[in-house]
Amino acid sequence: MSVSFQPVRGMRDLIGDEAQVFTTSIVKARQTAECYGFCEVITPHVEPLELLSAKSGEEIRQRMFIFKDLGGRQVALRPEFTASIARLVTTVLRNEPKPVRLFSVGTVYRYDEPQKGRYREFWQSNFELMGSARPEADAEIVLLTNNLMMSLGLEGYVFKVGHIGVIRGILSQDGVDEKTQNAVLQKMDKKDYAAALELVESKKSRAMLEGLIAIKGCNWRETVEQMQSYVADYPSAKGAVGNLGEILGLIGESADIDVKVDPAFARGLEYYTGMIFEVYVPQIDIALGGGGRYDRLIETFGGDPTPAVGCAQGIDRVAIALQSQKVSRAEKSVKKVSVIPITEALKPQALRIAQQLRFAGVAVEFEVMGRKMAKALEDADKRRVDYAVIVGERELKEGAVMLKDLASRQQSIIAVEKLVEKIKN
Ligand code: AMP
């Protein structure tokens, strides 16, 4: 009986061009990290369950891949990077001078219902800026996301921005406990406003939230002004709106970014305390990335009080966005060559030529199937190879090989030492 193995539900194989899009996106994320002064860290995929569930929020807690290792430890696959980064900052990096800027990229795991753009294993690039409570730190995180979107070649993307302190400020002042607040925010994250309002017992608070949800401005300045006067009697919420205005002011000064303020915007992760944002492209209605400020997480993990702000981009969704905008990959800069010895006896010399080409930065597929010339050339065509280097006895005696341009079908005898120059130009 033959068995046809498939990947685990919600997990994918990425092959060829698709894998290349991911690799390119990862390179761009890494370049952005470098450009903004972030240091890369590589942390384990498996972490103690206790660490991951400490402050991820109920929703993500319920969607983790949890298991016991053979030593009986409760562990889980990371559903995000922030908990691992917080672990670093509260332990080995505890005494690092602030701010600390850390970058990570890799796969994360959530037991989501699989659909296009939603997988159970997916790739994130992640940036955390720790040690500053100032609005310029928030602005930097949004600006670097903008930089990354731009360098990927995406167009028409919009930042949706809000501030968790506005909703929490209203609810806290009216005596709504934190657990209820978290539940309300989760419903609001799902845009289930009716269910969110139902959870709020205080009539005053409910009416305030309802009014907040209804605020719409033509541009971010107008929305922030409306929010400012709306929460005038709520000092903490008012402070939050002021902070949001300051962050957006800084961003507006330094970049031409399309920003929409959504006063009722909430995000699934419980640890956010301040500005939150997501970035969208018009072609798909799921966020490509998002983040926000989380000032108390490091304390929760036993570290010194450390204000922090961070963001993550979903590379699987970036790939979908690139495809929907038909962003073509940059032309291959590396030329691809097939090196084919005409006879068995010429294999050593042919391999030596292949190695010379590789050292000079030419990609070589060596003929490893022992095929006859016609078959080998047919195969090279299928593999979209630029040139075939045919190593024959007669030419080799003269220190030369036959070079065939597979696009133009032209061929010529070339001295081995001129080969690299000819292929590269
Ligand atoms: P979060 O860690 O929830 O803030 O998510 C950050 C980004 O990760 C999102 O904006 C998405 O681009 C991506 N993401 C989240 N969940 C998934 C998923 N199940 N499949 C693919 N990408 C996801």
Give me the pLDDT at residue 60, please.
76
Q: ω before 263 within 30° of 0 (cis)?
A: no
Give me the pLDDT at residue 331, please.
52
Which atom of ligand 1 is found nearest the CA of 269? 3
Burial label for 58, CB within 10 Å (0-12, 13-18, 19+), is middle
Which atom of ligand 1 is found nearest the CA of 288? 12
Which atom of ligand 1 is found nearest the CA of 278? 10
Residue pLDDT, tens place only, 289-317: 999 999 999 998 889 999 999 999 999 99
Give me the pLDDT at residue 56, please.
66
Which atom of ligand 1 is found nearest the CA of 318? 12
79 Cβ inside 6 Å of ligand 1: no
104 Cβ inside 6 Å of ligand 1: no
Nearest CA to ligand 1 atom 4: 290
189 Cβ inside 6 Å of ligand 1: no
Q: Is the pTM of this model over 0.75?
A: yes
Which atom of ligand 1 is found nearest the CA of 119? 20
> 192: helix, coil or strand?
coil
Which atom of ligand 1 is found nearest the CA of 118? 20
306 Cβ inside 6 Å of ligand 1: no
Give me the pLDDT at residue 330, please.
56
Give me the pLDDT at residue 55, please.
63
Could you tell me the two tokens for 210? 């309802």
Pocket residue to mutate for ligand 1, from 8, 12, 110, 149, most atoms within 8 A of Cβ: 110
272 Cβ inside 6 Å of ligand 1: no
Best CA proximity match to 118, nearest among 312, 327, 287, 310? 287
Could you tell me the two tokens for 227? 């929010």
Pocket residue to mutate for ligand 1, from 112, 317, 320, most atoms within 8 A of Cβ: 317
Distance between CA atoms of residues 272 and 289, nearest Å: 15
Nearest CA to ligand 1 atom 16: 118
Which residues, given as ranges, of the chain have pLDDT below 70? 1, 55-58, 268, 329-333
Give me the pLDDT at residue 41, please.
98
> 249: helix, coil or strand?
helix
Give me the pLDDT at residue 259, please.
96
Distance between CA atoms of residues 387 and 409, nearest Å: 9
Give me the pLDDT at residue 329, please.
62
57 Cβ inside 6 Å of ligand 1: no
DSSP calls for 300-334: HTTS----EEEEEEEHHHHHHHHHHTTPPPPPP-S
135 Cβ inside 6 Å of ligand 1: no
Give me the pLDDT at residue 218, please.
85
C-alpha 314 to ligand 1 mean position (Å): 5
Query: In Å, how far are 46, 51, 76, 78, 396 from 71, measured between CA atoms?
Result: 14, 18, 14, 19, 62
Residue pLDDT, tens place only, 135-193: 999 999 999 999 999 999 999 999 999 999 999 999 999 999 998 999 999 899 989 99
Helix residue ranges per DSSP H, 3-63 = 17-35, 49-53, 58-61
